[in-house]
Amino acid sequence: MIKFKPAMLYILTVMLFILLFASFDAEFYFDFSGRFDISREMMYRAFTENTAGLVTELPPVPDTLPAAEYSYGDENDTVASYKRKLYYLGYIKDYPEDKLMDEDMVSAVRIYQSDKALSISGTLNTLTMDTLDYEVVTYKQGVRGEDVTEYKEILRQLGYYGEQDILTDEFDEQMTEAVKTYQTDNSLEATGELDVFTLFLLMTSTTPEE
């Protein structure tokens, strides 16, 4: 006879309740794309465990659960993150300095959704954000931002920049040459661009011993 731990029985009971309730009000749980979308609050309460690994007392649901989508006028860190991603992918011309989902970002999202055969809404919905999350950025000459400064600092630690060199946030010609040299030294194609292979090697490199 199979024996279930109390926590497992609790979870199974909750899941049974969800399935039974969903059969009476399926429209509540299905979004317009037809995907099963159990509310975050219900999932949070059902699966939150304490440090002992058993569900004993469920904590209150945080007031700042992630939004299902972001649209024109929204302003927060999540919007800023995807705005930078769209910039590095070439959908926004200038490096974004703010966290606002403005007209330029809405336009960029619409073009991106069209390119990826997604429903064109201009909003950062779950499917669009998931698709963006899987995108791999290639950094090349002309882009700028905090990421560029970080990679320049790693290149300097590895000896591809001088200690007196001023590291700006721009991927300039000097950085292109530094990346080419790094790629050549590591038997990679010397493109001067920080592609996924170069980035992986760069982020796992260690500073050479003096």
**Tens digit of each residue's pLDDT (9 = 90 or more) over 94-148:** 999 999 999 999 999 999 999 999 999 999 999 999 999 999 999 999 999 999 9
176: nearest Cα among 143, 201, 207: 143
**Tens digit of each residue's pLDDT (9 = 90 or more) over 16-47:** 555 555 444 444 444 444 443 444 444 444 44
User: Which residue matches tokens 């070439």?
Assistant: 90
> Does residue 160 contact residue 182 with C-beta atoms inside 8 Å?
yes
Residue 167: predicted pLDDT? 86
Residue 55: predicted pLDDT? 42
What letter would DSSP give residue 54? S
pTM to 2 decimal places: 0.64
121: nearest Cα among 113, 131, 133, 129: 113
| Coil vs helix vs strand at 30 | strand
Cα–Cα dist 158/206, whole Å: 7
The residue extents of the domains of the chain are: 1-65, 77-133, 146-203
User: Which residue matches tokens 């080419």?
Assistant: 180
Average pLDDT across the chain, whole number: 78
**DSSP letter string, 88-120:** HTTSSSSPP-S-B--HHHHHHHHHHHHHTT---
First-to-final CA distance of the chain: 65
Q: What are the angstrom distances between the C-alpha of 39 and each of 33, 69, 109, 128? A: 15, 14, 25, 19
% of the chain beyond a pLDDT of 70: 66
Residue 181 scores a pLDDT above 50: yes
